[in-house]
Structure 1
Amino acid sequence: MKKKINRYIPLVICITAEIVMIMHSFNSTLQKTNGEINGVLKEVIVDDYHTRSGKLPLVSSQKGKNKVKQTYIKTATGKTIYTFKDSVDSEAACRLTEEYVMGRLNPLIPDNVNKKLQEGMKRHSIDGKTGIVYRSPNTYTYSNKDSLSYHSASYQTPFYALDIAKTYHVSAWIDYDWLPLLIKQTPFYNFLLIILLAGAIVFLLITLIKKQYCFPKAPSSVMINDSIPDGWYVSPDKKLYINKTPCQIQPRSLQILQLLYDGQDKEYISRKEIKEKVWGNEAADVNSRIDTHIKHIREALRNSPYDIVTVRGKGFKLFLKPIDSKATQP
C-alpha cells in the first residue's frame, strides 16, 4: 500500500502545483482587471464633470497654476471661497469645488455615467454587465434603477468622492464574463500551465500503461518456485499470475491456494483446516463452497505445472504435474 501511495506522489505534487499556478494566475488577472476598472471609472468621472460643468455659469479661479490651496466660484449670487487642507493640483481643485456646487444644481446622472463606463471598458477589452451607484446626502441613485445587482456583482469599486466636502460619491459594479477574463491571462502563466498539465497527463498515461501491461516482480517469499521457468506467483496486491498472465480468481480461492501451497510437505490439507482458516465461524457447512473454490483453482492452474488432487474423505493436496516424457524436443 505504501508503495502504491509513493507511486502517485509526483502526480499529486504536479497537479497541486498546477492548481496553485492557475489560482495565482487567475488572481493576478483579476487584480489587474479590477485596477483597470477603477482607472476607467476615474476617467469617466472627469469626463462627465466636463460635460456637466459646461452647462453652468461657474467660474473657478487659478486654473492655470500647478498647485493651489484655495479656489473660489463666482455665481449670480456672489463669490464663494473654498480652502483645501493641503495644496492640490489646480485642475483637480477646480473640479472638486465645482462638483460641490453642481451636486445641487446639476447632479451626476448614473445612466449617463454607466454608458461612458461601458465604452471605456470596451477599450480595455473587459466584458460584462455594469452599473453605477450615485450617493448624495441620505440618497442612493442606481443606473437602470437596479439596486439589487450591486450587492451580488463580481466586483464593486470603492466609492469615490466627487467634491471638496465629500458630500457626493460614485461607485461602479460589474459582473464579469469569466471566459474572456481567463483568456486574458499572461503568456508566461499560460506556458507554465501548459507544461504542468502536459506533464500530469503524460505521467498519468505512463502509470496507467504500466499498470495494464507491466507485471509486478514476484516477491521471493511468496508462492514462487525458481526452478519452474513458467511458474506462477501472487503479487503484493493479491493477484495470481501464471506465465505472467493474470488469472481471474476469487480472494477466498486464493486463500485456499495459499494454504495448499504452504502445506505441500503435508499429506493433505483437510476440509476442517480450510474452513477454519478461510471462513472461521462464519458458516456451519461450507463443504459445497470449498468444492466450488477448488474447481475454480483447478481451472486457474490448468496451464501451470501444478494441480490439485482430492484425498477422498480427508481433504486436498497441491502437487507438481509429472513431465510428459513423450513431449517432442525442438
Structure 2
Amino acid sequence: MEAIQNESDVFTLIEHSDPMYGKIVVVDWMLGNSCSYACSYCPKSLHDGSIKWQKTSDIFHLYHQMREHYVTERDKIVWLQFTGGEPTMHPRIIDLLRHASGMDFKVSLISNASRTLRFWEKINSCLNNVILTYHSEFAELDHFIQVAAMMANRISVHINVTMDPARFDKIFQDAQELRAALPTATISLKPLRQDFGSKLYDYTEDQLRALSKGLPSKQILVGEKPRSLMRATTRTGHSETLPPNEFILRGMNRWRDYNCNVGLESLRVRGNGAVLRGVCGVGGVIGYLGEDIDLPSDPIRCTKDYCSCLGDILIRKEL
C-alpha cells in the first residue's frame, strides 16, 4: 500500500480504537541482561550478563511512585512488561511479580519459557499476559508446549517463533506443532534481522512467502492485552483503524512535531536503571531507579523523524 500524499489527507490524530487502552500505562522494563540461552543471532549485550540484576528495593520504590502518580492521581492502569535477558532468572523475580500483583498492577513477561514447570506454576496466578519466544537452538518443544498450555486457557499467550533460515523447515514444523497444541495462543513467525538492525537475514523467496503467509489460525480469544488497534483520523474526518505494523508499511509512522502521550501511556526502564518516557527516548532520561523521579504529567512534542517501535506507535498522538 502507498502512503497518503495529499496534505489534506494526512492523519493528524492517532488514537486508541478502544478508549480503554488509553488508560493503560505500559512499562517496558529490562531487569538485566543475563539469559539462559546464548542464541547465535542474538547480540551479546542481550545475554552476556554484563548488566547486573536490578535491586529489589529500587524496583519496589518505582512501583510505589508509579502507583501514586498514575493510579492514585490519574486513575490509570499500570501494566508492567518485564524483559531481559531472561527476566525469570532475576533472583527475586517471584517477589517482584507477587508484589506488583498485590498492588493491582497488570503483569506481563517476555520469556523463553526455559524455567521449570514448577517455577511457572508458582507465578501463574501473578500474570495477566505472556509473550514466549521459541528459540529452536535451545528450546525443548515438549517443555515449551507444557509451559504455554499451563497459561493459555486463562491469560493471553503470544508466541514468537524465531525463524533461522539455515534451519527453516525444521523450525516451521515445530511452529505447526505449536499451532496444533495451543489453539488459544497467537503465534508469529519472526524473521531475523542482522545484528537486530534493518537488514533481514538471507531468506529464500519460498521462505519469505512462508513468513508473509504465517500460520492458519482459528483464534479463540482468551485473556486481555495491554494494547490493541489505533484509529487514524484526518482533519477532514476520514479515519482508518490499523495495526501498528501497517503504519510502518505505509510510511505513515512520521510524527515529528506531534504532541505524543509517550510517558503518559508508557514508560521504559533500561537495564542500567535509566527511566525514560518510552522506547523512543524522546525527552531523554527522566531519572534512575532508586531516585525520586518526576514522572511525566503532560504530552511531549515528538522530535524523531519516524517512529520505529511498535509499542511507541500504539500511543496517542495529535498534530
TM-score w.r.t. the length of structure 1 is: 0.18
- In terms of fraction of residues, the more helix-rich structure is 1
Greater RCO (CA < 8 Å, at least 6 residues apart): 2
